[in-house]
Amino acid sequence: MSEFAGVDGAEHAIERVPISVPWVVLSAVLCGLGILSLSYWLITFTWILLGGVVPLAVGAYMFFSPRAGWDHA
Q: Report d(CA 61, CA 45) in Å as an integer.
A: 26
Looking at the chain, the whole-number percentage of residues with pLDDT higher than 70 is: 71
- Rounded CA-CA distance 72/58 in Å is 21
| Domain locations in the chain as residue ranges | 19-68
Segment 51-70 mean pLDDT = 89
The confidence score (pLDDT) of residue 33 equals 96
Distance CA 2, CA 64 (A): 32
Average pLDDT, integer, range 1-29: 71
Give the SS3 label for residue 63: coil
